Amino acid sequence: DPQKDADRLVQENGEAGQPAWLILQASCTHLGCVPTFVEGSQFGGWFCPCHGSDYDTSGRIRRGPAPKNLAPAPYLFTGPTAIRIG
């Protein structure tokens, strides 16, 4: 899914998120396993060892059985140095 990062940056209150932040839910879209970050992987991002789904650093599915990108997590900046996730 070639979704742009800018389309994935939305805070809980509906406002556009900070462009430097992309906060994702760590739940594989195949069967709900927990992907892990793999430095130096082919796509430079997340890998689900259960069934082999590869995601890039933006959480977009690149290879494997997962049908969708990793979902952005709901978040809200509550101050200049504080964020609430979930």
CA distance linking residue 3 with residue 72, whole number of Å: 12
Q: Which structure tokens are listed for 82?
A: 């504080």
- The residues annotated as belonging to the active site are 51
Tokens of 36: 């892990």
